[in-house]
Amino acid sequence: MQLLSKNNKPMMDKFLNISNTLVSFYNNLIKLTTNKKLYSGLTSIDTFSDRLLLLLFHFSFILFVFNNAKNKLLLQKIYDYVFRQIELGLREIGYGDQSINKKMKNYINLFHSILSKIHFWNDMDFDKKQQLLNNFLDNFNNIEFLVNYFDNFTTKLKKYDLNSYLKSVNKP
C-alpha cells in the first residue's frame, strides 16, 4: 500500500516546506531571545518568564512590521506554531493540563496586550517607549538599552519582506 502517490507529492512538498519555514522561524525567534546582551542589568537571575517576555516582544514586533493582507495566512500559521511550541515547552517543564491551559490563556492575553501597545511604537517618544517596556519587564533595569535594541530591531525588520526574512535565520 502506497501512502503517498505521485499526485500528492506537490502537496507533501508544500507541507514540508511550510513546516521547515515554521521551524526556522521559531529557531530564529529563540536565537533572538537568547541574546545575552538583552539580559545584562537584570535585577535577579533570569527566569522562564523573563525569556518568554522577550520572546513575546520579538514576536510582537515581527507581527507589527509584517502585518498586511499579503502575509495574513502565513502569519496566522506562524502565530499558531509559536504558541504551540510554547505550550509544548510548558509540558516539557512538567506542568499539568489544567495549569498549562491557564498559563497559555495568560500568555496569549499578555502577548495581545504587548502587541496592542507596540502598535503605536513608531509614534512614541523615547520616554513613552521606556514606560511601555517597564510595564512589562519589571525584572530588567536596562530599559534604555532595550528601547534602543527594539528600535534597531524594527528598523532591520523593515529592510526585508517576510519571505526573505523567513529564508534566513540570521537576518535581524
Q: Is residue 17 part of a domain?
A: no
Which of 12-16, 62-66, 132-136, 153-157 has the lowest average pLDDT?
A: 12-16
- Would you state the pLDDT for residue 55? 96
Q: Is residue 25 part of a domain?
A: no
- Would you state the pLDDT for residue 142? 87
Q: Is residue 119 part of a domain?
A: yes
Model confidence, pTM: 0.84
Closest by CA position to 118, among listed 59, 163, 76, 32: 59
The pLDDT of 131-149, averaged and rounded, is 93
Q: How far apart are CA 82 and CA 70, in angstroms?
A: 20
* Residue scoring higher pLDDT (142 or 55): 55
Q: Is residue 114 part of a domain?
A: yes
Give the range of the structural domain holding residue 114, as residue numbers without chain letter: 46-167
Q: Is the pLDDT of residue 101 over 50?
A: yes
- Would you state the pLDDT for residue 157? 93
User: What is the secondary structure of 101-147 as a DSSP string?
Assistant: HHHHHHHHHHHHHHHHHHTTGGG--HHHHHHHHHHH-TTBS-HHHHH
The pLDDT of 89-117, averaged and rounded, is 91
**Residues linked to residue 81 through DSSP beta bridges, in sequence order:** none
Q: How many domains is the chain built from?
A: 1
- pLDDT by residue (tens digit) across 44-77? 777 888 899 999 999 999 999 999 999 999 999 9
SS3 of 45, please? coil
- Would you state the pLDDT for residue 17? 60
Q: Is the pLDDT of residue 20 over 70?
A: yes
